[in-house]
């Protein structure tokens, strides 16, 4: 036993913990639970923890994966509960196991979103929104580290569904998690750039499930 993987939720207030802060939060959870974490052996030792798909601030997730390494064997069945007893609100560990696949095998993410519309009823948006995400080409401009680029959303956003709610719409879709990485916010940017009348006044997303390239659930 050396490399281990934890699946956990990050919801509610915890959605606002940044990736960098989460690394610190998680490390302290491990320390409080007296987990024998392994540290790097450099001049400034740091815990060997890595989060497979870093999450943007404000986005919730029911399916986060985190790899970490331990110095000696631990009771992995008991670990999630042990960690939960000392975790902040909104961080909940679901299971711990020895991973069989590398995180690079992740390809798709199922997400849900809340689209709030202040001035129109969600019902009137359903059809045009469905039509928008069925377009053959949805080129969206985005800023990356290398400067401004264009990403083709068509093909990288799949199975778009939506239904009206009191405040607007609830949407569901599957987005490409890696190569290319589609940040859910790009859906909003696409609407803003190509069909501004469909852009919600507020949107909030949640990751629901992780898949490999063949749409098998990734663990």
Cβ at position 9, least distance to another protein in Å = 14
Looking at 3, 16, 213, 217, which residue binds another protein (CB under 8 A)? 16
d(Cα 137, Cα 8) in Å, to the nearest integer? Answer: 35
Task: Write the interaction track for another protein spanning residues 32-71; mark x where CB under 8 A is met and - where it is not.
Answer: x------x---x-x-----------xx-------------
Residues 18-37 that bind another protein (CB under 8 A): 18, 20-21, 24-25, 27-32
Tell me which of 88, 128, 149, 155 binds another protein, using CB under 8 A. 88
145 phi and psi angles, rounded to 5 deg = -60, -30
Instruction: Decide if residue 14 touches another protein (CB under 8 A).
Output: yes
The residue (of 114 and 141) whose beta carbon lies closer to another protein is 114
Residue 199, beta-bridge partner list? none
Q: CA 95 to CA 197: how far, in whole Å?
A: 43
CB of 68 to another protein, least distance (A): 15
Count Cβ atoms within 10 A of the Cβ of residue 88 and give its class: 0-12 exposed, 13-18 middle, 19 or more buried: exposed
Spatial CA neighbour of 170 closest among 212, 119, 128, 111: 111
Number of shown-chain residues binding another protein (CB under 8 A): 28
Residue for token pair 């740091």: 46
Q: Identify the CA nearest to 218 among candidates 5, 2, 3, 1.
A: 5
- Contact between residue 176 and residue 153 where contact means Cβ atoms under 8 Å apart: no
**Closer Cβ to another protein, 106 or 191, answer by number:** 191
Q: Which of these segments, 7-15, 68-76, 92-100, 211-219, binds another protein (CB under 8 A)?
A: 7-15
**97's tokens:** 């196991």
- The radius of gyration of the chain from alpha carbons, rounded to an integer in Å, stands at 19
Near another protein in 146-205, by CB under 8 A? 202, 204
* Residue number, 14 or 177, with CB nearest to another protein: 14
Interface positions with another protein (CB under 8 A): 12-14, 16-18, 20-21, 24-25, 27-32, 39, 43, 45, 57-58, 86-90, 202, 204
């Amino acid at each position: 036993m050396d490399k281990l993987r934890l699946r956990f939720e990050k919801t509610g207030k915890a959605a606002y913990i940044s990736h960098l802060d989460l690394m610190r939060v998680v490390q302290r959870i491990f320390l409080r639970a007296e987990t024998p974490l392994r540290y790097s052996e450099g001049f400034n030792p740091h815990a060997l923890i890595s989060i497979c798909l870093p999450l943007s601030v404000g986005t919730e997730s029911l399916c986060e994966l985190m790899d970490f390494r331990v110095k000696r064997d631990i009771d992995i069945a008991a670990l999630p509960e042990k960690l939960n007893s000392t975790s902040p609100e909104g961080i909940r560990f679901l299971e711990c196991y020895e991973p069989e696949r590398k995180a690079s095998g992740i390809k798709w993410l199922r997400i849900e979103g809340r689209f709030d519309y202040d001035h129109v009823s969600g019902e009137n948006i359903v059809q045009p929104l469905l039509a928008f995400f069925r377009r053959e080409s949805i080129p969206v401009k985005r800023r990356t580290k290398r400067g401004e680029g264009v990403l083709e959303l068509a093909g990288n956003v799949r199975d778009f569904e939506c239904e009206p709610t009191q405040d607007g719409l609830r949407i569901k879709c599957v987005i490409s998690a890696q190569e290319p990485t589609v940040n859910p916010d790009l859906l909003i940017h696409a609407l803003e750039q190509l069909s501004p009348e469909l852009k919600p006044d507020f949107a909030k997303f949640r990751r629901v499930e992780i898949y490999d390239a063949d749409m098998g659930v990734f663990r």
